[in-house]
Chains A and B, each alone.
Chain A
């Protein structure tokens, strides 16, 4: 069944979509969903939607009809079903408060203690970054370049991530400081983390954002020896404006 007042409904839809794009861009919640590289397209899309809303309102259909099969594309007839589908993103965006991916997304995927392939073969950021500048992905890239975990013992690290734990390790005295890493958008997200030793780990709630300061020591996880961050301090922090790491 076609929707009545289709022209006004279409115009209203494009206005709402323009608002949806603009709101995510201006509030910064856009970075909960997509990477930095093509974020600039979103405000342009908002402008495009405004233009289309105006175009639909000001368009006067031709007085003479071209006939059934003249090769022109004909106006798309908006049905209730079609309308219901296209408003799904607007409804979800409105009903479910924007939040970056968290440990719930890890129920279907493994968390990586090693760098993703592309980072392991060629680090994205220079390995020469100071220990206070390196993020979790930078550390994993450094581990991939130097297979001897002993080499990192005693090195200082300051990293920010959210708290994650599972049954694979002792949750009273250790946790994982975790970030999601993306290349394009959350559809390709992969989780990376560093194992942290911290006597009060049991008091930290899962998904809390923390800054961990400490030094690496040699640890063993699932039969593999790897650098483990021995925390000197674990401070709760605000989630960063860009919750994901990029590679």
Chain B
């Protein structure tokens, strides 16, 4: 019974700390969905491959949200003629490079190497992967449905409706987003709370202090848990005392780019062959950065 109490306290602790951020992210995403025309990004972004690759990581500031919202937005952007590398940079970076996620990462870790490392590594990995796609110029990247233009896709977001009807629509989008993402947060928090309640810290330390193993383990966990990037920092807190800094950074950088949820979304936009690269390239780079951090002591 005492353990149930501890489990419940830790689980609700993560949930109460994270849920307001999830709500904030969902509300911002819902309002943008309702009020901002995604053609905006297609118009302002550069079109040539080399400047486009890093630029693709920036619209997260206009279209914040987590990995859940990226797919549909990217698909709309491609229909508006967005170059391939820009869309890839956006898909990989936008879940981290946006105000809501930076705010929640700050809430969990404060100013410090985790916050800055997360931002920097995400931009670098997104830019490198995007540039590789730009230079390789692979043929037949997108799924046919992703480029098909329909009459509906030229609509901006519901222009015909007055604002007082768009607000409930935006709130409903936000509510649906929250219900969708809260499932992953809750599964992740249940697991984190169970781990803290049942597994001795000495066992966790044995796994978490290995410079290579720790990175691989937390990356695998990030992939499986698929927790939204707005709240994954709070789950990472469960590992701060037992896992290496490099592995925590890899968790926070790789998870938002590639997890079960985003892989399924990639399959909705790109051909399967391309999806393999979109998983393998960020994984390799995140592992590399995690190792660099772990082996360069002083962090």
- Which residues of A line the B interface, CB within 8 A? 10, 13-14, 17, 21, 24, 30, 32-34, 37-38, 41-42, 44-45, 48-49, 51-56, 58-60, 62, 66-67, 69-73, 75-76, 78, 82, 85-86, 88-89, 92-93, 96, 98-102, 104-105, 107-110, 183-190
Contacts and interface: CB of A to CB of B under 8 A. Distances in A.
Nearest to B169: A59
Interface of B: 2-6, 8-17, 19-21, 23-24, 27, 33, 38, 69, 72-73, 75-76, 79, 107-110, 145, 148, 150, 152-153, 157-158, 165, 167-180, 182-183, 186-187, 190, 192-193, 196-201, 234-235, 237-238, 240-241
A34 B186 contact: no
Nearest to A10: B175
A222 to B, nearest CB: 16
Nearest to A13: B179
Given A66-B152, A86-B179, A89-B186, A52 B9 contact: no
Contacts of A82: 179-180, 183
A120 to B, nearest CB: 14
B196 A108 contact: yes
A179 B207 CA distance: 27
Contacts of A56: 168, 171-172, 175
Contacts, number: 194
Contact of A185 (B14, B33, B169): B14
Determine the main DSSP class of B at the interface with A: helix
B76 to A, nearest CB: 4
B150 A184 contact: no
A28 to B, nearest CB: 13
Contact of B16 (A10, A42, A104): A42
User: Which of B3, B4, B19, B240 is most buried by chain A, counting CB atoms within 10 A of its CB?
Assistant: B19
Given A96-B5, A183-B110, A33 B172 contact: no
A104 B6 contact: yes
Nearest to A190: B241
B20 A52 contact: no
Given A62-B158, A76-B180, A86-B179, 18 more contacts: A33-B9, A45-B19, A52-B175, A55-B169, A59-B168, A60-B165, A75-B176, A82-B183, A89-B15, A92-B12, A98-B9, A105-B196, A183-B110, A184-B107, A185-B17, A185-B234, A187-B193, A188-B238
8 closest A-B pairs (Cβ-Cβ)?
A55-B171, A104-B2, A186-B13, A71-B76, A76-B176, A45-B20, A41-B20, A59-B168
